[in-house]
A and B are shown apart, each in its own frame.
Chain A
Amino acid sequence: MDEALLRSLTPGVLAILVRRGADFAAAEDAVQEALIEAVRTWPADPPRDPKGWLVTVAWRKFLDAARSDSARRRREDLVEEEPPPGPAPSVDDTLQLYFLCAHPSLTPSSAVALTLRAVGGLTTRQIAQAYLVPEATMAQRISRAKRTVSGVRFDRPGDVSTVLRVLYLVFNEGYSGDVDLAAEAIRLTRQLAASIDHPEVAGLLALMLLHHARRASRTAPDGSLVPLAEQDRRRWDTASIAEGIGILQTALARDRLGEFQAQAAIAALHADAPTAEQTDWVQIVEWYDELTRLTDSPVVRLNRAVAVGEADGPRAGLAALAALDDAVPRRAAVEAYLRERDGDPVTAARLYAEAARRAPNLAERDHLTRQAARLNALLSH
């Protein structure tokens, strides 16, 4: 059975139920039940019209739930056996679902969970496994999120930047459990790009494609990190890179620059270089200048210092780093790299060890510890 097809139908089916007068929370539950039934019955008995099947089953589930819940009896006035045809759901409905699930009243983790379920069509169990929390906890997180947005009007346009932040969070979570969240984020961003014409949506999609193209080369078979300069570029996914660059160029031509387009431009310059040595660092620094202008985040300035170090030498990189607070994550790792290139392995080894102690994840910690060990071995000879 084509699970991707099944899940791509989710937002459209949900929108039809909401258009027919079902409230969002109940409709969402009904669609989830219909999806589970589809997974169970379609392999043996595939429907001719998958979407029609889902709408029929989800609507029946919704009616059953409304009837069995005596507290909801008043709502039965609304639901009739023969549903009104209602206006045909359009791509706008899908867009409204994205806005609702990323509503600013939700915490980031709630918005992520609700988006993956209501728009992505993942089950609560799959989402719980992906985020390594118990299924009961994830079920509560989702039902609270639905309560939070229950008063939000479905037909109001939302802020696309909140949606992009949620999708970016999903993408960065990568891969755990049986769901590839990076691939799911790309699918959802692609679907969003089909419903709204916005250069930053295109920018985020391009950024994801360009990053994802390098995924296979980013880790060694033993799970250790491979830095960009050492990656086997033959393993990069050229089709994905070409698609990302094409989408980015179209977006940039509209002359409405935003942070995702700028980040994608940097990723494109890396992806374009046949060897690490041929990387156009001068242009990358210029894009970091744009990004600094757009966001002025310390993380951007840290990455800019790396690029300056490559473009103008480690001294210039260290000078760019000087203004940054010690508390900025990964600052010690960047300084260690620049110190080593500047011919100071003693300081570099000390800073790598410090960076390892402050690393936010195991792969990075192990990578930085190995860097410190490599320098210490050199120094002891």
Chain B
Amino acid sequence: MAKYLMLKHYRGAPAPVNDVPMEKWTPEEISAHVKYMNDFAARLEETGEYVDSQALAPEGTFVRYDGEGRPPVTDGPFAETKDLIAGWMVIDVDSYERAVELAGELSAAPGADGKPIHEWLELRPFLGSHPTITE
């Protein structure tokens, strides 16, 4: 039982096999893609492995503390940022192998010409909060 984050990137992941930007797909292809993602999440809920999924807007703001009594400084977005997160799904599975299997399925979401995108997803294990007893 371990939680994993499947991270989708706007930028920063290696190029997918079926590398056509979404705005050049047909509307039907976009609908098929969205349906695949929703069906995937619904299926994981049924298997008892779904935790969360969210999408993020591409444009964000950098914020930092600027000293006592001063408002925070904001900056960005930076067009040159290499790594840009598009969204994530969190799963709770029995093994690393199962996490890899599910990430592989999610990466098969259809894109242009109805063919799988083969998108690279980043799979990151959660750090648990409480230690396993090992003394």
Contact = CB atoms under 8 A, between A and B. Distances in A.
Contact of A361 (B48, B52, B131): B131
A174 interface: yes
Given A132-B3, A137-B92, A109 B131 contact: no
Given A133-B51, A173-B130, A211-B133, 10 more contacts: A132-B92, A134-B45, A134-B50, A140-B45, A169-B1, A172-B132, A174-B130, A303-B134, A361-B129, A365-B127
Contact of B45 (A137, A142, A228, A361): A137
A158 B48 CA distance: 25
Interface residues on chain A, size class: 35 or more
B127 A359 contact: yes
Closest 8 CB pairs of A and B: A141-B48, A361-B128, A174-B130, A109-B1, A140-B48, A107-B94, A363-B131, A228-B135
B29 interface: no
Interface string B84-107: 000000001110000000000000
Contacts of A107: 94
A308 interface: no
Interface of A: 107-110, 112-113, 131-134, 136-138, 140-142, 144, 169, 172-176, 211, 225, 228, 270, 299, 303, 330, 359-365
Given A109-B92, A131-B92, A133-B92, A360 B128 contact: yes
A134 B52 CA distance: 8
Contacts of B52: 134
B46 interface: yes
A211 B134 CA distance: 10
A363 B129 contact: yes
B44 to A, nearest CB: 8
Contact of A140 (B46, B129, B131): B46
Nearest to A110: B48
B47 A176 contact: no
B1 A108 contact: yes
